[in-house]
Amino acid sequence: MSAEPGVNPADEMVVGRESAWHEGAAGAASPVKSLPLVSIPTSAAPSTGSGVPTKPSWLGMSAVEQERWVTEVAGQAKFRRKQIEKWIFQQRATSFNDMTDLPLAFRERLAAEFTIFTGQVVRHQVSKDGTEKLLIEFPPMGRHGAGRIECVLIREKQRRTICVSSQVGCGMGCVFCASGLDGVDRSLQVNEILEQMLRITGVLPVDERLSHIVMMGMGEPLANLPNVLPALEVASSDFGLGISPRRITISTVGLTKSIDRLLEVGKRYQLAISLHAPTNSLRNQIVPTNEKIGVEGIMEAAARFKRETGRRLTFEYVLLGGINDTLEAAEDLADLLAGQDALVNLIPYNPVAGLPYATPSNQAIARFRKVLEDRGVVVKCRQRKGDDIDAACGQLRRLVDKSSVGLADGN
């Protein structure tokens, strides 16, 4: 399948940690929808009984490490590694035993020493609008217990977009966000990021493939670049999912050093900055990490990114009723973005139970938008997806954590 080339997926769809998932959710106090648990094929690693896999994931090794293992440990030809990649990324193999053009003994050796997936799908929800959400539990790691994260498939016309989580929880503490309520537990590993993409691919019919990736799920991707970048390298490579970097968007609250680090990698990913407020006094209230970064620092880093990449900047702005949806905030935002090639995604907030924030009125949204547009700022207001499946980031995890939901069949 194909999607429109050169279009930043963050431009037009509901994909944000602060958007689809917040907009679409019914709130943490809402009951888990009575959708059937859907099982999808998995090859979860054998467990010791405590949920700890006994084997490492093949996806956790770099291409060099894989090739070394294939040639030096298993004594096979180099091209066998490419065969394995093709099976996993193009033919959706979830088990080494599926790889029928590999010698049987080699398959058995692979299966004895590695697994492909280490997580288990705890819940699979399907929205009536086609949005699908997986809640995946990864096994304990070091001092960290099992960690649950969410990933989402968003269907929009020809696009098939995955929203990927980068951490278990989030340490940024945005005041309106369910993902950050309990802080960050740990960063996800390369294989755990790739597993989300492969499992969502497995949800698609065989004649469809993922077209876009947005790193806008749970966690701050720029706080986990050592794992996010290698995973995106595989996702954007011909031997992986083959998704063009211009169809991959990384979202951040504005970690300036990491924005600069993004410029050092060869690939030009799209950048979306979750701004949410135009001034430090307002942003400090909404995004606590702003006290260390500052709006000015973010805008300078964004300008450097724009200068180096030529990519249009996207700013995410969650509208919180009565807080950052005022005329004054709109004028300040227009001032901040004056003369910039920037897009503002306005995201009306949907309440999260237990948090004291409200959806702005339609009049307030329209008024805010008009001020920006009258000042020449390009604005989009996101449509909502997955309303019926607790799609707001972090909310399904919290809901399921509070309930006694068993694992889906097949896991």
Residue 163: CB minimum distance to ligand SF4, A: 11
Residue 169: CB minimum distance to ligand SF4, A: 8
The residues in 100-119 that bind ligand SF4, with binding defined as CB under 6 A, are none
Residue 17: CB minimum distance to ligand SF4, A: 4
393 given a catalytic annotation: yes
Q: Binding of ligand SF4 at residue 168 (CB under 6 A)? A: no
Query: What backbone torsions phi and psi does residue 115 show, to the nearest 5 degrees?
Result: -125, 165
Between the alpha carbon of residue 87 and those of residues 59, 60, 64, 108, the distances in Å are 12, 16, 18, 15
- DSSP states of 38-75 as a string? ------BPPB-SSS-BSS-BGGGS-HHHHHHIIIIIS-
Residues 187 and 222: their CA atoms lie apart, in Å, by: 11
Q: Binding of ligand SF4 at residue 275 (CB under 6 A)? A: no
Q: Binding of ligand SF4 at residue 85 (CB under 6 A)? A: no
Triad 384, 385, 389: Cα angle to 5°: 125
Residue 243: CB minimum distance to ligand SF4, A: 22
Q: Binding of ligand SF4 at residue 18 (CB under 6 A)? A: yes
Residue of 163, 170, 174, 393 marked active site: 393
Residues 312 and 341: their CA atoms lie apart, in Å, by: 6
The residues in 375-394 that bind ligand SF4, with binding defined as CB under 6 A, are 393
* Eight-state DSSP code of residue 177: -
Structural contact between residues 318 and 347, judged by C-beta atoms closer than 8 angstroms:
yes
Q: Binding of ligand SF4 at residue 218 (CB under 6 A)? A: yes
Residue of 137, 150, 156, 195 marked active site: 150
Structural contact between residues 386 and 23, judged by C-beta atoms closer than 8 angstroms:
no
Q: Which stretch binds ligand SF4 (CB under 6 A): 5-13, 175-183, 198-206, 376-384?
A: 175-183
Q: Binding of ligand SF4 at residue 243 (CB under 6 A)? A: no
Q: Binding of ligand SF4 at residue 352 (CB under 6 A)? A: no
Q: Binding of ligand SF4 at residue 188 (CB under 6 A)? A: no
Q: Site for ligand SF4 (CB under 6 A): which residue of 59, 172, 259, 301?
A: 172
Task: Give the burial class of 354: count Cβ atoms within 10 A of its Cβ; 0-12 exposed, 13-18 middle, 19 or more buried.
Answer: exposed
Nearest C-alpha neighbor of 252 from the set 290, 280, 212: 290
Nearer to ligand SF4, 93 or 352 (CB): 352
Q: Binding of ligand SF4 at residue 220 (CB under 6 A)? A: yes
Q: Binding of ligand SF4 at residue 186 (CB under 6 A)? A: no
233 given a catalytic annotation: no
Q: How many CA atoms lie within 13 A of 393 on its CB side?
A: 32
Q: Site for ligand SF4 (CB under 6 A): which residue of 3, 17, 58, 131?
A: 17
Instruction: Give the binding site for ligand SF4 (CB under 6 A).
Output: 17-18, 170, 172-174, 177, 179-180, 218-220, 253, 393
